[in-house]
Amino acid sequence: MPSERRQSNFARRLSAVGGTDRRHSSIADHDHLAALGIKQELKRNFSPLSMLGLAFAILNSWTALSASLSLALPSGGSTSVLWGLVTAGICNLCLAASLAEFLSAYPTAGGQYHWVQVVAWTKWKPLLSWITGWINVFGWMALTATAGLLGSDLIVGIIPLFHPNYKAKTWHEFLLYLAYTFIAAMVNAFGNRILPYVNKFAITWSIAGFTIISITVLACSSPHYNSGELVFADFINTTGWPDGVAWLLGLLQGGLGLTGYDATAHMVEEIPNAATEAPKILVYCVLIGLSTGFIFLMCLLFVAGPINQVISSTYGPLGQILLTATGSRAGTVCLLIFPLACLMFAGISIMTTSSRMTYAFARDRGLPFSKFLARVHPTLDVPLESLALTVIVVVIFGLIDLGSTSAFNAIISASVVALGLTYGIPVAINVLRGRRMLPEARAFALPEWLAWPANLLGIAYVILTTVLFVFPPALPVTGSNMNYCIVAFAIVLMISVIQWFVDGRKNYKGPKIEIDMSQLTGAQRAEIEEQMGVEGVEMEKENGNSGSEHEAAMERPKAE
């Protein structure tokens, strides 16, 4: 349709204006945002290295994978642990590369819901963007909860090492969960200026832990290793599901270890040279997570001893493996300090990203009380209200875990499914529209021969896991082992639909993608006018008018 061609041309021109074309790199990051109609409020404190540290701290794949072995060992044994990770890794790498194209063209904190607004059909832009934004906000809040869940689970597993008669209570884990949550909240609220240094230290600590644990367990176990057949080909199914379904359910562990890489997108307004550096960070963190995770899990399986003993241990799978390898309770605890601290760093980084995602969506009027949630504290330089909302929701998740034995699986499933959906939606829309909706002039672009297979494989993975990960983890299904992920999704969707009819349908127009000329200097205005031919662009007056009608004019649907 002509209107869609005009929209595509506008997107290409807008990309050039924003500086994603190397020929126009003179336009700075804040001017890129201004060209997208967004005011730069957050400070660009993060270097590419510290941002990679944040992204890696969020994935922290070797830690998340080892702390969540209970998700995969009963659902396929070592084959699910290792080859499930490889499967999830390849598919997530395809998704990460697909999303990197979007991030290069539109480097704003909104991420997926912004990209959906750009590429979706005119009639459906606001609704699809709204749905994506709500799912993404929910997914990040659920992912924030997983750090405290895994950390408290590891600590509770340590106590029986020294007190064999100890019986873990759910409220014990809840108090530890609260400790993880509130420490992360305090660091985010009052330590924003030191967060880049925290992230750099986090990646150093994580690499040190990965190296020290791997070398220690291999050295202590020598030469009594499990066979290669057990490590690479052993299959166990204690779930009650058919073997094929059980193995696929075990993908949840690999999915958890490699999810959250869109953190780079939601923090992109706080790094320099964002359109060029951010897409590379997005892909690098998945590659690092996949490679380190595979090596670490392989080391653990070689020294694990009998797998059935690992599954049933009161020390937890990781605690049991480390105890078997070292033969020392003190040594086990010393090694567990590394993943425990990594989960703390992960909790801080995930909460940072969750608060930024909430802030960005509220800035575009996607949430109730958006004006309140979109504020940035003038002295702390953080979206304090959005951070507080994240903390409240995470505490609620903890209360759910306090009252249900299956909430652990449900919360993890909800985070992986929700974030996976938001990865797949913009990619799927772009594919359905022939991959024509992104500007050609961008710093990161997949060659077409690679882009189509990567896009399609990523979409297929999202569809498969969205269906599978709402299954109960074991049969027969009871009230206590039911996967309440679907219930959590139903509640979120219900709230979002109600809010859409109450407020969103009238007031939510999606993120701005028009050029706001009032935010640019005279020289930059002249450059933009020359690039765009001035066609359809209204010069903004200096009297406070915000945004132009250019995009609205181009978005008018063509009469059939």
82-91 pLDDT, tens digit per residue, is 999 999 999 9
* Alpha helical stretches, state H, 106-124: 112-119
Q: Check whether the bond before 383 is cis (ω within 30° of 0).
A: no
Return the residue matching tokens 């075990």.
250
Q: Which residues of 97-122 are buried (b: 16+ CB within 10 A; e: fewer)?
A: bbbbbbbbbbbbbbbbbbbbbbbbee
CA angle 157, 227, 250 (to 5 degrees): 50
Q: What is the DSSP letter of 258?
A: T
| pLDDT tens profile 283-320 | 988 998 899 999 999 999 999 999 999 998 989 999 99
Q: Which two tokens stand for residue 549?
A: 């009608």
Cβ-contact 54, 288 below 8 angstroms: no
Please provide the DSSP assignment of 168-185 as one string: --HHHHHHHHHHHHHHHH
404: left (phi over 0), alpha (psi -120 to 50) or beta: beta
Predicted confidence (pLDDT) at residue 268 exceeds the cutoff of 90: no
Residue 269 tokens, joined: 């307004």
Q: How confident is the model at residue 529 (pLDDT cuts 50, 70, 90)?
A: low
DSSP 8-state symbol, 541: P
Most distant CA atoms of the chain, gap in Å: 78
- DSSP conformation letters of 223-244: T-PPPHHHHHH---B-SSS-HH
Separation CA 84–CA 86 (nearest Å)? 5
pLDDT of residue 538: 41
- Residue with the bigger pLDDT between 44 and 345: it is 345
Task: Judge whether residue 473 has pLDDT over 70.
Answer: yes
Q: Report which DSSP code applies to 221.
A: H
Give percent of the chain above pLDDT 70. Answer: 79
488 pLDDT band, cuts 50/70/90, is: confident
The dotted CATH code for 43-510 is 1.20.1740.10
Within 13 Å and on the Cβ side, how many CA atoms surround 220? 22
pLDDT at 229 over 50: yes
The better pLDDT of the pair 485, 314 is held by 314
pLDDT number for residue 442: 81
Q: CA 267, 252, 259: angle at the middle one, nearest 5? A: 10
- What is the arithmetic mean of pLDDT over 3-7? 46
Taking the C-alpha atoms of residue 203 and residue 49, their distance in angstroms, rounded to an integer, is 10
pLDDT for res 490: 83
Give the whole-angstrom CA distance, residue 234 versus residue 251.
Answer: 16
What pLDDT, on a 0 to 100 scale, did the predictor assign at position 404?
67
pTM assigned to the model: 0.82
Q: Cα–Cα distances in Å, from 58 out to 200, 211, 222, 254, 423?
A: 12, 19, 33, 14, 16
Position 217 scores a pLDDT of 95
Task: Write down the mean pLDDT value for the chain.
Answer: 81
Q: What is the SS3 string spanning 456-516?
A: HHHHHHHHHHHHHCCCCCCCCCCCCCCCCHHHHHHHHHHHHHHHHHHHHHHHCCCCCCCCC
398 touches 209 (CB < 8 A): no
Answer yes or no: is pLDDT of 29 > 90: no
Band of the pLDDT at 405, cuts 50, 70, 90? low
Q: What is the pLDDT of residues 191-225, one digit of tens each?
A: 888 887 887 788 889 889 999 999 999 999 989 89
Tell me what pLDDT residue 201 has. Answer: 86
Retrieve residue 19's tokens. 């500086």
Q: pLDDT of 77-132, one tens digit each?
A: 999 999 999 999 999 999 999 999 998 888 887 889 989 988 999 889 889 999 99
72-76 mean pLDDT: 92
Q: Is 110 left (phi over 0), alpha (psi -120 to 50) or beta?
A: alpha
pLDDT confidence of residue 77: 93
Report the pLDDT averaged over residues 362-370. Answer: 88
Dist CA 514 CA 34 (whole Å):
9
- By C-alpha distance, which of 4, 213, 136 is closest to 492? 136
Q: Among 59-73, 376-390, 519-533, whose mean pLDDT is lowest?
A: 519-533
Residue 79, both tokens: 């084959």
The pLDDT score that the predictor gives to residue 441 is: 76
| Nearest alpha carbon to residue 438 among 217, 279, 238 | 279
**Residue range 171-188: mean pLDDT, rounded:** 93
Least confident of 160-164, 319-323, 413-417, 489-493: 489-493
519 DSSP 8-state letter: G
- The position carrying tokens 């649907």 is 557
Closest CA to 352 of 542, 153, 192: 192
DSSP per position, 293-328: HHHHHHHHHHH---HHHHHH-TTHHHHHHHHHHH--
| 31, 14 Cβ separation under 8 angstroms | no
CA angle (172 as vertex; 170, 176 as ends), nearest 5:
115
Q: What DSSP designation does 75 have? A: B
Confidence of residue 54 (pLDDT cuts 50, 70, 90): low
Q: State pLDDT tens for residues 412-454.
A: 888 999 999 999 999 999 999 999 888 887 888 899 999 999 9
58 closest CA partner among 237, 281, 217, 225: 281
